[in-house]
Amino acid sequence: MQYRNLGQTGFKVSELCFGALPMGPLQKNLDVDTCTRVIKKALEGGVNFIDTAQIYGTYEPIRRAIQGYNGEVIIASKSNVATYEGMQQALQEAREKLGVDFIHIFHLHAPRATGHIFEERAGAWRCLLDAREQGLIGAVGISTHGVAAVRKAATIKEIDVVFPLLNIKGKGITDGSKEDMLAAIAEAVAAGKGVYLMKVLAGGNLLDHYQEAMTFARQVPGVAAVAVGMISEEEVEYNLRYFNGQDPGPVQKASKRFAVVHTLCIGDGACLQACANGAIALVNGKAQINPENCLLCGYCTEVCPQFAIRVL
Per residue in 37-52, pLDDT (tens digit) is 999 999 999 999 999 9
| Contact between 78 and 106 (Cβ < 8 Å) | yes
pTM for this predicted structure: 0.88
pLDDT of residue 179: 98
Residue ranges of domains in the chain, CATH in brackets: 3-243 (3.20.20.100), 258-311 (3.30.70.20)
pLDDT of residue 241: 97
Taking the C-alpha atoms of residue 58 and residue 76, their distance in angstroms, rounded to an integer, is: 12
pLDDT of residue 206: 86
Taking the C-alpha atoms of residue 126 and residue 129, their distance in angstroms, rounded to an integer, is: 5
Closest CA to 162 of 214, 118, 91, 105: 105
Pairing of strands 258-260, 309-311: antiparallel
State the CB neighbour count (10 A cutoff) for residue 284. 7
Taking the C-alpha atoms of residue 166 and residue 305, their distance in angstroms, rounded to an integer, is: 31
Backbone angles phi, psi at 290, to 5 degrees: -90, 110
pLDDT of residue 254: 56
pLDDT of residue 136: 98
Pairing of strands 280-283, 286-289: antiparallel
Backbone angles phi, psi at 108, to 5 degrees: -70, 120
Range 180-184, long-range pairs (CB < 8 A, 24+ positions): 180/147, 181/147, 181/150, 182/220, 184/147, 184/150, 184/151, 184/154
pLDDT of residue 26: 85
What residue ranges of the chain have pLDDT lower than 70? Answer: 252-256, 264, 302, 305-307, 310-312
b/e 124-151 (16+ beta carbons within 10 angstroms → b): bbebbeebbeeebbbbbbbbbbbbbbbb
